[in-house]
Amino acid sequence: MPHDRSRATVERVLGLADIRIDGDRPWDIQVHNASFYRRVLGNPVLALGESYMDGWWDAAELDEFFHKLLRSDVRQMVQRDWRLSLDLLVQRFVNRQTRSGALRATARHYDRGNDLFKAMLDRRMVYSCAYWKNATTLDEAQEAKLDLVCRKMYLQPGMRVLDIGCGWGSLCRYAAERHGVTVAGINTSKEQTELGRSMCAGLPVEIDVRDYRDVEGTYDRIVSLGMFEHVGPKNYRTYMEVVHRHLKDDGLFLLHSLGGNKKVKVHDVWAEKYIFPRWSGTPIIEQIGKAAEPYFKLEDWHSIGAYYSPTLMAWFQNFHAHWPELEPRYGAPFYKMWKYFLLCGAGAFRARDSDVWQIVFSKGGVPGGYISLR
């Protein structure tokens, strides 16, 4: 397709989202290489990200570009080529979140380097959506989220808590310090586990490198923050069965996860290639419900997804501010990739294209009813 026809097609599609080529508004796209048009039409999801990383286009406010794009019907017009269709078949029929696959995926993302995440995150190093209801800073918002999670679980001194996918142990430490509980954290990231152990030193907290399918013991409370979205649809039922088996009969299980209201037909091959290897897609209400139905009673379902956009913007601001000290290790191409990842996410959650849920389950129902907290 000649460049002029390719440009006209891209221009028409972006126009549906009120985005102009070489316009003067912050969300308008500035194209620096005329080959961009044919490239992005060939494989829209992957090429949009890769051409940005290559410097072929930019936008003054990348987050607002994606906000505009994802609030429109542009994706319904995008034609999927055979590569995307093949990827969807793989996603549907193949279990890519095996034990070995999970370990490799973790190494690619969470083991990039603790220095990167120290620079980007809050002082407690919480790598999931913050709770900005009454907060003005990232530190306040993440502490408010940890407080909310602990209150929703109705923690009492002496309880045993399991944190599945505990990261650097931020919730483990907070729960042990503030509520007098004993916490077992499991993770598949060696880098996170080493730092998490040092951050929780002196507290009744044990953090181990372990797959969720290898959990041992029983617990009064089980919690998981931002891990379930990596489990994969083929394993949702197994995950729920594992939690049910290790939760006491009168216990509570709090699941904090990315979520969506409908299945996404176009797989984010860029994110899988550069950010989250073996990414399985965001769980939807139906999938979580079907997986949990044999094992749990739903007590509470709370959407906090609107708070992820300011969280991601705060992470980017921290990352950008600390880039001079990070650049010698990570290099200039990494900056473009990580910026695209964070600001694309900020725009998506601002558009309410994705959500974050905190869901509370019990085994047989809380006597007298569960009191929801916000």
Give residue limits of the domains in the chain: 3-79, 94-314+344-362
Query: Exposed/middle/buried for 198, CB within 10 Å: 0-12, 13-18, 19+?
Result: exposed
Q: How far apart are CA 119 and CA 139, in angstroms?
A: 13
Beta bridge partners of 208: 186
Token representation of residue 81:
């080529």
pLDDT average, residue stretch 16-26: 96
pLDDT average, residue stretch 148-154: 98
Phi, psi of 294 (to 5 degrees): -70, -15
Higher pLDDT: 264 or 177? It is 177
pLDDT average, residue stretch 160-189: 97
Residues 91-127: tens digit of each pLDDT: 444 555 555 555 555 556 666 789 999 999 999 999 9
- Residue 259, H or E segment: strand 247-259
Q: How far apart are CA 337 and CA 343, in angstroms?
A: 10
pLDDT average, residue stretch 194-200: 96
**Which pTM value belongs to this model?**
0.90
Residues 314-363: tens digit of each pLDDT: 999 999 999 999 999 999 999 999 999 999 999 999 999 899 999 999 99
The whole-angstrom distance between residue 192's C-alpha and the CA centroid of its chain comes to 16
Count the Cβ atoms, other than its own, within 10 Å of residue 99: 11
Band (250; pLDDT cuts 50, 70, 90): very high
Least reliable range by pLDDT among 69-83, 288-302, 304-318, 337-351: 69-83
- Residue 270, H or E segment: helix 269-274
The whole-angstrom distance between residue 207's C-alpha and the CA centroid of its chain comes to 21
Gyration radius of the chain's alpha carbons: 21
Band (276; pLDDT cuts 50, 70, 90): confident
pLDDT average, residue stretch 241-265: 92
Band (216; pLDDT cuts 50, 70, 90): very high
**What pLDDT, on the 0 to 100 scale, is given for residue 77?**
55
CATH fold of 94-314+344-362, please?
Rossmann fold (3.40.50)
